[in-house]
Amino acid sequence: MADGYLPRDPARPPDADAEAAALAAAERRRRHKRARQSLVFVALFLVVLGIGIGAAGVNQGWWAGPFAVDEEPSAGPSAAACPTPTTVPVDAAGVDVSVLNSTDQQGLAGGVADELRARDVAVGAVANAPEGTTVDGSAQIRFGPEGRRSALGLASITPGAELVQDDQRAGAAVDLVLGASFSGLAPADTPLTATVEPDPASLPAGCASAAPTTGAPTTPAP
């Protein structure tokens, strides 16, 4: 007998080896099938879990769903129709101003008057302010109801000026009273402008009239 050769057991049926091989192959197929089924089950479980988490998130508002529509906050019915203040130009030639000096600085009113004329402003009287007039700030612009637009235009080129309205004053002429802190007019190329508020009587319902925007404080005349 050659080395390594094992004779077949005469008692073993001839088809036993083939049957054993077939059983082993079937077992391998079953294991592979069970493994595939397990993978499919895990995949389906993860999909269902993801759908559940997504639905819960949409329900709780954690994120928007695929069919969500962005809603823009709607303004009140009258908000869009509320008029706003507007800045308008003021015709320099239509401004009639008297320049008064309340300080001890000689020639101050004359110099300012010359600058105003160079800007096409109509200058009337140029003089010292009435005795006892004291203006601690830069200047006061005194005017009546008809002169409000002119006063606003003059204030736009007079830094720090205080608007003083006298409801009893007639006409559109205004007074520019120079004070102790006056340091000069705005640059020569600065246009005269006025910020005009909408007429409160014309405001739609729901619109509040804002405080007048003038660029300078308004004080009633004593």
Task: Read off the pLDDT of residues 185-217 as tens digits, 9 standing for 90 and up.
Answer: 999 999 999 998 877 777 777 775 544 444 455
Asked whether residue 69 is assigned to any structural domain, the reply reads no
Residues 92 and 176 in one domain: yes
Task: Read off the pLDDT of residues 78-134 as tens digits, 9 standing for 90 and up.
Answer: 444 677 888 999 999 999 999 999 999 999 999 999 999 999 999 999 999 999 999
Residues 91 and 194 in one domain: yes
Taking the C-alpha atoms of residue 155 and residue 173, their distance in angstroms, rounded to an integer, is 14
Q: Are 139 and 193 in contact (CB under 8 A)?
A: no
Tokens representing 163 are 């608007």
Q: Are 101 and 127 in contact (CB under 8 A)?
A: yes
Neighbours of 189 (CB within 10 A): 6
Asked whether residue 39 is assigned to any structural domain, the reply reads yes
Is the pTM higher than 0.75?
no
What percentage of residues in the chain have a pLDDT greater than 70? 76
Residues 103 and 155 in one domain: yes
Closest CA to 126 of 138, 142, 114: 114
Residues 182 and 132 in one domain: yes
Asked whether residue 203 is assigned to any structural domain, the reply reads no
Strands (E), the chain: 86-89, 96-101, 122-128, 139-143, 161-165, 174-178, 193-196, 218-220
Residues 37 and 131 in one domain: no
Please tell me which residue, 106 or 67, carries the higher pLDDT value.
106
Q: Which of 59, 78, 112 is the last residue of a domain?
A: 59
Asked whether residue 166 is assigned to any structural domain, the reply reads yes
Residues 30 and 114 in one domain: no
pLDDT over 70 at 67, yes or no: no
Taking the C-alpha atoms of residue 66 and residue 64, their distance in angstroms, rounded to an integer, is 7
Domain limits at 26? Answer: 22-59
Domains held by the chain: number: 2
Tokens representing 131 are 């005795």
Residues 53 and 114 in one domain: no
Residues 179 and 127 in one domain: yes
Residues 46 and 122 in one domain: no
